[in-house]
Chains A and B, each alone.
Chain A
Amino acid sequence: MPHLRMTGRGLWITALIVPPLAFVAVFIVYPIFSAFAYAFFDWQGLRRGEFVGFDNFFTVLFVEPYRSWTINAFSHNIVVFFALMVLQNGLGFILAYALWRELPGARFHRIAVFLPVVLSTIIVAYLFKLFLHPLFGVVNVSLKGIGLGWLAQPWLGQSDTALWSLIAAQSWHMVGFPTLVFLAGMQRIPGEILDAVRMETESEWVKISKVVWPLVAPSATIVFTLLFVGAFNWFELPYIMAGLDGSPFGSTDVLGLYFYRTAFGNVSSGQQDFGLGSALAVLIFVFIAVIAGIITVRLRAREIQL
C-alpha cells in the first residue's frame, strides 16, 4: 500500500519538523517581530503606553545620555570587529597554512587549535577571568615568575586593557573555526598548482598572496560574514568577564550588553525600558542584516572554481 506508507512517512516528517519550527516561531520569529512593534511604543515597566512613532529611535541615537552610550558601545563593537578580523581570522589563516604545510606535529596542533571552539563560551569566559585575576591569575603569576613582574596588570580592572583582554580571550576561543575553514580551502588546491608556483618563485609571500589566498578566498566569505555578525552580537563573553555594565567605566561596553541593560534593567539601576531596548535591538538587527548582506554579495562575486 504505497499510498498509506507515504502518509506514514509524511506523518513522521511532520512530527519531526513541526516542534522545532514551532519553537523557532515562538522564541525567535515572534520576538523579532514584536521587537519591531515594541520599538514604536512608550513603555512604563511592562505596561505598554502610547504609540510614539520614531521617538525611541531618535532618543537612543540623538538624546543624551543614550547618544554617548550608543556611540561608546558601537565604537567598541567596531574595535572588536577589526581586532578579531586580524587576530582571529588573520591568525587562523597563518595557522591553517602552517598546518597545511605539515610542519612537524601538525596532527597534534590540528586538534589543539580546534579544541577550544567546542568548549562552551561560559567555561572559556570563566577560565580567562581566573587566568587574568590580578593577584593569583596564572598570567600575572607567570609574568612574575619569569621576572617580568613589571608587566603584570589588573587586566580586567583598568580601562585600557579590559577590552583587549576580552578580545584576546575571544580569539583564543574561536581561532580554530577560521583555521578549519581555511585549511579545508587549502586542501582543495591541487598539488600540481603549488608545484607550478614553486617552479616560478621561492618566496612564501608570493605563493600565499598571489596563489593560495586567491584560491582560498571563497571560503573566507562565510568566515568574514560570521565574524561580522558575531562581533556585533557579542554578548556572553563580555557579560561574564566584565559584567552587564561593561566595567570598568563602560570600557568594555558593547551593543549586546547595552541593549540588554536598557531593555531589562540591571542590578545597579532598576530601570527598564522596553521601548528604547527594542529600538536598539531593531537598529542592531537592521545594521547587521544590511552589512552582512553586502559582504556576502560582494565576496561571492570573487569566488573561483578550481
Chain B
Amino acid sequence: MAQLSLRGIKKRFRNTEVLHGIDLEIGDREFVVFVGPSGCGKSTLLRLIAGLDPMTDGEFLLNGQRMNEVPPSRRGIAMVFQSYALYPHMDVYENMAFGARLMGLDKAEVERRIAETTRMLRLEELLQRKPRELSGGQRQRVAIGRALVRKPEVFLLDEPLSNLDAALRSEVRLEIARLHHDIGGTMIYVTHDQVEAMTLADKIVVMNAGRIEQVGSPRELYETPANTFVATFIGSPRMTLLDVTRKDERLAMADGGGGVAVGALPAGSAFRLGLRSDAVRLAKGQGEGFAGQVVYTEYLGDNAYVYVRLADGTLLAARTAPNDSFAPDETVTVTVNPASVHFFSAEDGRRLTPQAAE
C-alpha cells in the first residue's frame, strides 16, 4: 500500500519560489508521470518527495503519515537518478547489496533479493563488474536493480532515459512499463518528454512554472486539455492555436479573413481555436475556409505533416496522406472537422465548453 498526499507544497530557494503550492493525490500502484518543460519544478518536487531537500511549506503524507521530518532513508522510497549515481568503487553486486544491508536485512535475505532482482533485470553476467565497465543501458538496469532490492513502496525515477540513445530509450521504456506491471509499486517518473509521459503513465501531472496545469490520464489530457499550455505540450506535432471571432455561426480569423463552419460554440464572441493536425484538412487552391501557404512537408512514411502559414502568420500543422503532395509556397485552403476542435478563452487560455446550439 502506498498512498501519497501532497498538500500545499511550496519550495523557495533564497528569494525565488519555484513551487507555488502543489496539491496532489497519488494512489496505490499508480504510475504517475510529472511532465513539463525544463525549470517547471518537476525534479524539485520529486526531490521533496524523496526528502533530499526540505520543503518550505506544505505537507507530504505517505499512507496518512506526515513525512516532512522523516529522513529520506526511512520513507520507504527508492530513487533512480538521472546519472544513475552508482557507487563507482563498488561492483554491481555491492551496489545492490549496500542499501539492502543498511536496512538491517540478514545475509540470506539480501542474497535472495539480489538473486531475484538479478534474474528479473538480466544482470547475472555483470555482478562482478564495476560501473565504469558497463554501458549506459546496463548502468540504468543496475540503478533500477539497486532500487528494487530495497522493495520500496514508492519508486522515484528522475529522467531515467535522458542519458540513453534513441534506440535504447524505447526499449528501456518498455522494460520499465513491464517492471511496473510485475512488481506493482507506486512509481513517480519525471520527464520532459511528452511521448514518455503518454506511453508510460496511468496519470500524467503536467507542470509549468511551479504549478500543476492539469492532472489526468493520457487520454483525458489529449482529448480535453484544461488550457492552451497542456494542449500544446501534449501531442505531436503541437496543437495549432488560432485567434478567431464569431461571425454568425461561422468562425473567422481575428482580422476577419476566411471563415469555417463549426457546430456548437461556447459563449462569447472571441476565442482561441485549438486544432490538432488530424482536425484539419487541406485542399489545393482558394476555397471556403482559411487561406494559407505551404511552408514545408515532413514525410514520415505512413503519413505526412504539412506546415501551412495562415494569413495572420500562425503556423498550422496538418496531417495528410503520404502521397498527397504539396509544394512549398503553394496556396491551400484549410477546413476543420467540427467534432475535433478545442476552444480556449482568449484572455487566460482556459478551456471553454461549447454549448449546444439553440
- Of A193, A206, A210, which one neighbours B85 at CB under 8 angstroms? A193
A306 to B99, CA, bound (A): 20
Chain B residues contacting A210 (CB-CB under 8 Å) are 98
A305 to B134, CA, bound (A): 13
Which of B69-77, B207-215, B323-331 contacts its partner? B69-77
A201 to B102, CA, bound (A): 7
- Of B71, B77, B81, B146, which one neighbours A202 at CB under 8 angstroms? B71
Q: How far is the CB of B119 from chain A (nearest CB, A)?
A: 22
A199 to B88, CA, bound (A): 17
* Contact A195:B79 (CB < 8 A) given known A200-B73, A202-B74, A304-B89: yes
Q: B52–A200 contact, CB under 8 A?
A: no
Chain B residues contacting A215 (CB-CB under 8 Å) are 88-89
Q: A202–B132 contact, CB under 8 A?
A: no
A250 to B21, CA, bound (A): 72
A206 to B50, CA, bound (A): 19
| Interface bits B49-70 vs A (CB < 8 Å: 1, else 0) | 0101000000000000000000
- Of A198, A206, A214, A304, which one neighbours B52 at CB under 8 angstroms? A198
Of B71, B77, B85, chain A has the most CB atoms within 10 Å of the CB of: B85
Q: A192–B98 contact, CB under 8 A?
A: no
Report if A147 contacts B (CB, 8 A).
Answer: no
| Interface bits A212-233 vs B (CB < 8 Å: 1, else 0) | 0011000000000000000000
Q: A195–B73 contact, CB under 8 A?
A: no
Of A190, A196, A215, chain B has the most CB atoms within 10 Å of the CB of: A196
Report if A123 contacts B (CB, 8 A).
Answer: no
- Of A192, A200, A305, which one neighbours B99 at CB under 8 angstroms? A200
Report if A211 contacts B (CB, 8 A).
Answer: yes
Q: A199–B50 contact, CB under 8 A?
A: yes
Report if B217 contacts A (CB, 8 A).
Answer: no
Dominant secondary structure of chain A at its interface with chain B: helix
Chain B residues within 8 Å of chain A by Cβ, number: 25
Q: B71–A192 contact, CB under 8 A?
A: no
Report if B78 contacts A (CB, 8 A).
Answer: yes
Q: How far is the CB of A302 from chain B (nearest CB, A)?
A: 9
Report if B83 contacts A (CB, 8 A).
Answer: yes
A190 to B71, CA, bound (A): 21
| Interface bits B176-202 vs A (CB < 8 Å: 1, else 0) | 000000000000000000000000000
Size band of the interface chain A makes with B: 10 to 19
Closest chain B residue to A197 by CB distance? B87
Q: A190–B85 contact, CB under 8 A?
A: yes
A205 to B85, CA, bound (A): 20
A306 to B82, CA, bound (A): 16
Q: A196–B85 contact, CB under 8 A?
A: yes
Chain B residues contacting A200 (CB-CB under 8 Å) are 73, 98-99, 102, 150
Q: B88–A304 contact, CB under 8 A?
A: yes
Chain A residues contacting B77 (CB-CB under 8 Å) are 199
Q: B73–A199 contact, CB under 8 A?
A: yes
Q: How far is the CB of A194 from chain B (nearest CB, A)?
A: 8
A125 to B150, CA, bound (A): 55
A195 to B71, CA, bound (A): 12
A305 to B82, CA, bound (A): 19
| Interface bits A177-200 vs B (CB < 8 Å: 1, else 0) | 000000000000010110111111
Q: How far is the CB of B56 from chain A (nearest CB, A)?
A: 19
Chain A residues contacting B88 (CB-CB under 8 Å) are 193, 215, 304-306
Q: How far is the CB of B49 from chain A (nearest CB, A)?
A: 11
- Of B71, B74, B81, B132, which one neighbours A196 at CB under 8 angstroms? B81
| Interface bits A112-126 vs B (CB < 8 Å: 1, else 0) | 000000000000000
Chain B residues contacting A196 (CB-CB under 8 Å) are 79, 81, 85-87, 146
A198 to B132, CA, bound (A): 22
Chain B residues contacting A195 (CB-CB under 8 Å) are 47, 50, 52, 79, 81, 85
Chain A residues contacting B73 (CB-CB under 8 Å) are 198-202
A243 to B86, CA, bound (A): 54
A103 to B78, CA, bound (A): 27
Chain B residues contacting A199 (CB-CB under 8 Å) are 50, 52, 72-73, 77-79, 99
A206 to B77, CA, bound (A): 19
Chain B residues contacting A305 (CB-CB under 8 Å) are 88, 132
Q: How far is the CB of B141 from chain A (nearest CB, A)?
A: 16
Closest chain B residue to A202 by CB distance? B71
Chain A residues contacting B72 (CB-CB under 8 Å) are 198-199, 202
Of A190, A195, A200, A201, chain B has the most CB atoms within 10 Å of the CB of: A200
A211 to B98, CA, bound (A): 10
Chain A residues contacting B52 (CB-CB under 8 Å) are 195, 198-199
Chain B residues contacting A190 (CB-CB under 8 Å) are 83, 85
- Of A192, A193, A202, which one neighbours B82 at CB under 8 angstroms? A192
| Interface bits B74-112 vs A (CB < 8 Å: 1, else 0) | 100111011111111100000000110010000000000
Chain B residues contacting A202 (CB-CB under 8 Å) are 71-74
Closest chain A residue to B99 by CB distance? A200
Q: How far is the CB of B45 from chain A (nearest CB, A)?
A: 15
A200 to B85, CA, bound (A): 13
Chain A residues contacting B85 (CB-CB under 8 Å) are 190, 192-193, 195-196
Of B74, B89, B98, B99, chain A has the most CB atoms within 10 Å of the CB of: B89
A201 to B52, CA, bound (A): 12
Q: Sample 13 A-B pairs with CB under 8 A, ordered by A number.
A: A190-B83, A192-B85, A193-B86, A195-B52, A196-B86, A197-B87, A198-B72, A199-B78, A200-B98, A200-B99, A200-B102, A201-B73, A202-B74
Knowing that A198-B73, A199-B52 touch, tell me 13 more A-B residue pairs with CB under 8 angstroms.
A193-B86, A193-B87, A195-B47, A196-B79, A196-B146, A199-B50, A199-B78, A199-B79, A200-B150, A201-B102, A211-B87, A305-B88, A305-B132
